[in-house]
Structure 1
Amino acid sequence: MAFPKVFRGRASFAALVTLLAVATASPVALPAQPQDPPGQGLTWQVQGNNPGEINCETDRSSDYYGLGVRLGIYMAWLTGWIANNWVPEEIAGAMDTNAIFLFALVIAVVRCTSTDLVSQMDGVMLMHLAGGTIFSVISIWGYRTCWYTKEGPRGIANFGGFGTHLRLLLCMAVSTYGLWFWYFGMAGSLKSGTGACQVTWTFFFAKLRADGGIRKWYIFKYVVCLIYFGIMTAVSIIGPISRIMKMAWLARYKFFRTSSRLKYATGYTYGELRGIFAVLRFTNFFWIIFSMVTCEFTLNYNHVQSVLGENGRIFFPSQLIPLVIGASSLIRVVYIGLEEWRAPGDHRPSLEEAPTEPRRPNPLPRRRDLFKLFAPTSADERASSPITEDGALLHFENSDVDEEMIGKPRWCRYLVSYLPWLQAAIQWWRIRNEPENPTADSRQLEHAHEPRLPSDLEKATERRRETWSSDDTLTAVDRHKSLNDVL
């Protein structure tokens, strides 16, 4: 019996749908997954590409510390170091990039440890990567950044927000896990390898067993870190509590236009800040290079061939995404740093909107003059000295200290430098406990979070600002010259 053509088409479509439904609903027999025998762990020995070559594989080595992941983290370290030393505008972005990588590592290591998916080899590598981030570029209050050399003690105004507290919590989490890993994980709580991969090696200026004497050094190191970051974490609770109470107090007196930010202060003098920065800029770079060498030597000592060289499978998304993020961040900060070097303080577009001589040819330099492409541009005078937006010259002496710390003993200044939350809370409570003149309190609170000029320049700048207010045509350069005449 012949069906009409339309019914034959519908019958074929119905049959196709039925076959697809049966195929998707039917159970598929998957090949048996090899399971580790009891006590053998997640790291095992496989046959290498060459006869006699040892190749130690782990279940998730590529996801934890594959070639793309490592290169992305290495470039993020260099991005942070360059920004911390020369490009203050990129410090926040570089710290965020490193914090994101560290946050991902913390989540991965904690989650996979709880499900028994981290071997001793994996833990050693993750600790090296996390330690390289914490001890080289991550900064809680910015003492390893150039903000304090450019803005003096008031550079702390760039810190104390959400990013500061997030980085502190990440450092605390890494310190806690690091102590557990080296004390319990390397003592048998995490699985080791089998065969020639049973011993986990690490690098510390030499090839060392990770469960040997170097383990005591790492235990001591993370005990110190846990105490250091633990005290900061406990005291940091004062910050949000004080701010919430300040917001309630401002709402009570209807000061809705007054900022609720707290004013933090550092107890270090300008000379001390410069000395700290000069030391840290070199020690941080050394630690970056040392951490890179440690990671690569550790992988080679443990024969993890699947994440080395051409075996890294860098084209997979799990490797390509962190690599692209790290490379993009590094290229950006290098470009901005080069622009800042060529024309300090000049962030205008490179070309004018309307060229003055559009018909005149302007060929590129040739031969020996080719290097003139990298010569500094003719920057204007305002770039010779740091100037604020209102034209005030920033100048600091080595003895300059935050006005809140003037006259305080040295132990108090250093304590506040380590725990700025204490000074912010004390200042807020002092203002709060003087309710006789709420309007004056409002003015103090409104400017409590704003940076101030050094005391030796306040009178001169205030006199000049009175004359500047009557003449809007004065440029920043004119104000700079006028202020220098007074000083």
Structure 2
Amino acid sequence: MYGLGIRIGYYLQWYGGILAAWIAPEESSSLRLANALFVAATFLALFIQTIQEHAEKSFPIVETYIILFLAFGSYLVLVPIYLWRIFTCCNPYLDPTRFPRVNPGRVYGYMNSVLLTAVLGFELWYWIHQVPKLATVKCVQYGFFFHKIQLNNRGFRMLNIIFCLFLLLCCITLVCMKVVSKVRPSQGKKVILKKEQYKPLDQDLPKRAHLMQILDSTSQFIVATTVIIGVELTICWNKIQDVHDISSAGQTIPMILGIGALIRVIYVWKFKKVAHEAVSSDPQPAGYHIVDPHNGFAQPPPPTPWHQMPAPQSPAPSPPPPNQKPTSWDSMPAAARESVHDLGHNPNYYSA
């Protein structure tokens, strides 16, 4: 469950999500969903295997630690976020989560909260119930905390328990608040502010929002890189074998999905840039040569607005043939001569 292909798939999705938020925001939601499905599949497999092979000899505790490290790695970005909130005294104008590059959406927020709650509950059970069993095992197993440390180290264990318990309480509180807000909506009371309570619009807010977005992406990149280093060092320190090949389909599929997701982000960004340059150089292209940045296919140009369409013109009268002579009175048909005679005696004709 943590072979080389699966690890590469995780790593590329983490970096692809950070990159997509800046160069291809329309791909960010799909990458977030793919990463959440990766975490859900890994956690479900770990849960089932833990139930089937409960003995630590058949499923080493350090392997559970590595799998949880991978599954929980994307959520470790919450650590610098909470530290930053403490440092800024919870100032909302300095909170990076209030100025996201791409809005994650309500459905993803609910699903992510439920998944995070399940993973944190399992981690609490792991640190409280499983890790103390290492005291009876002769082989020392190591974890990562910016250096090599024993998994059953008391301080390391208590730190993980406190951290997981804190995040679990936060997740449960947020989920309960969302459920209560849906069941008991607000009564819509109007709040009338006095004149002195109005605050002027912050002119520096766009710049501050952009700065918070850069800070958020930087912290995500640092956390992702730290988790990757921690996972690889943990495998190296514990001398785990047979986890460095991609010969099976279970390793190849996640790796190809991760590579494809990253290539998709670069592809969308590149073709969107080409399409923008083509439209800028030819504002009114003729024919089917506009490239859609989403799928790369040629699209027809938009229809011309009605107020820009040329006015309809009546066709010009065709000139008479060069050999045609004017019609004389005697050569006209009798019916035509009578109609002309009646028209000349009509008084309304002259009055017009």
Structure 2 length-normalised TM: 0.62
Alpha carbons of 1:90 and 1:144: their partners in 2 closer, same or farther (altered >3 Å)? farther
| Structure 2 counterpart SS, 1:65 | coil
Name the counterpart of 2:42. Answer: 105
Q: Percent identity?
A: 22
Q: State whether residues 172 and 226 of structure 1, in contact with CA within 8 Å, keep that contact through their aligned partners in structure 2.
A: yes
1:186 aligns with 2:131: yes
1:301 is aligned with what amino acid?
W
Whole-Å Cα distance in 2 between the matches of residues 66 and 329 of structure 1?
19
Name the counterpart of 2:267. Answer: 335
Q: State whether residues 135 and 152 of structure 2, in contact with CA within 8 Å, keep that contact through their aligned partners in structure 1.
A: no
Map of 1:361-376 to 2, 5 A cutoff? none
Q: State whether residues 144 and 281 of structure 1, in contact with CA within 8 Å, keep that contact through their aligned partners in structure 2.
A: no
1:124 is aligned with what amino acid?
Y
Map of 1:148-297 to 2, 5 A cutoff? 159-160=105-106, 162-188=107-133, 198-212=139-153, 213-238=155-180, 241=183, 273-297=209-233
Residue from 16, 21, 30 that aligns with 1:93:
30
Whole-Å Cα distance in 2 between the matches of residues 347 and 172 of structure 1?
47
1:122 aligns with 2:77: no
2:105 is aligned with what amino acid?
F
The offset of 1:276, in angstroms, is: 3.0
Which structure ranks higher in relative contact order (CA pairs < 8 Å, sequence separation ≥ 6)? 2
Whole-Å Cα distance in 2 between the matches of residues 142 and 346 of structure 1?
35
Name the counterpart of 1:15. Answer: none
The offset of 1:342, in angstroms, is: 5.5
Whole-Å Cα distance in 2 between the matches of residues 347 and 300 of structure 1?
52
The offset of 1:124, in angstroms, is: 0.9
Alpha carbons of 1:294 and 1:66: their partners in 2 closer, same or farther (altered >3 Å)? same
Whole-Å Cα distance in 2 between the matches of residues 306 and 193 of structure 1?
26
Whole-Å Cα distance in 2 between the matches of residues 343 and 88 of structure 1?
16
Alpha carbons of 1:235 and 1:100: their partners in 2 closer, same or farther (altered >3 Å)? same
Gaps of 5+ in 2: 82-95, 186-204, 290-304, 310-352
The offset of 1:206, in angstroms, is: 1.2
Residue from 73, 80, 88 that aligns with 2:10:
73
Q: State whether residues 99 and 167 of structure 1, in contact with CA within 8 Å, keep that contact through their aligned partners in structure 2.
A: yes
Map of 1:397-408 to 2, 5 A cutoff? none
TM-superposition CA deviations, 1:259-298 (whole Å, max 9, x none):
xxxxxxxxxx656644432221111000111110000000
Map of 1:16-31 to 2, 5 A cutoff? none
Alpha carbons of 1:114 and 1:354: their partners in 2 closer, same or farther (altered >3 Å)? closer
| Structure 2 counterpart SS, 1:303 | coil
The offset of 1:322, in angstroms, is: 0.9
Structure 1 length-normalised TM: 0.46
- Indicate the RMSD between aligned Cα atoms, in angstroms: 3.4
TM-superposition CA deviations, 1:337-383 (whole Å, max 9, x none):
334456659799xx99678xxxxxxxxxxxxxxxxxxxxxxxxxxxx
Between the two proteins, the alignment pairs up a number of residues equal to 250
Q: State whether residues 128 and 161 of structure 2, in contact with CA within 8 Å, keep that contact through their aligned partners in structure 1.
A: yes
1:108 is aligned with what amino acid?
A
Residue from 307, 311, 316 that aligns with 2:248:
316
Map of 1:33-44 to 2, 5 A cutoff? none
Q: State whether residues 176 and 226 of structure 1, in contact with CA within 8 Å, keep that contact through their aligned partners in structure 2.
A: yes
Q: State whether residues 99 and 209 of structure 2, in contact with CA within 8 Å, keep that contact through their aligned partners in structure 1.
A: no
TM-superposition CA deviations, 1:214-245 (whole Å, max 9, x none):
222212221221122121121222465479xx
Whole-Å Cα distance in 1 between the matches of residues 235 and 172 of structure 2?
32
Alpha carbons of 1:279 and 1:345: their partners in 2 closer, same or farther (altered >3 Å)? farther
Alpha carbons of 1:354 and 1:226: their partners in 2 closer, same or farther (altered >3 Å)? closer
TM-superposition CA deviations, 1:104-124 (whole Å, max 9, x none):
122122222223164311221
Whole-Å Cα distance in 2 between the matches of residues 222 and 354 of structure 1?
56
Residue from 228, 232, 243 that aligns with 1:307:
243
2:166 is aligned with what amino acid?
V
| Structure 1 counterpart SS, 2:242 | helix
Whole-Å Cα distance in 2 between the matches of residues 473 and 238 of structure 1?
54
Whole-Å Cα distance in 1 between the matches of residues 279 and 29 of structure 2?
18
2:65 is aligned with what amino acid?
V
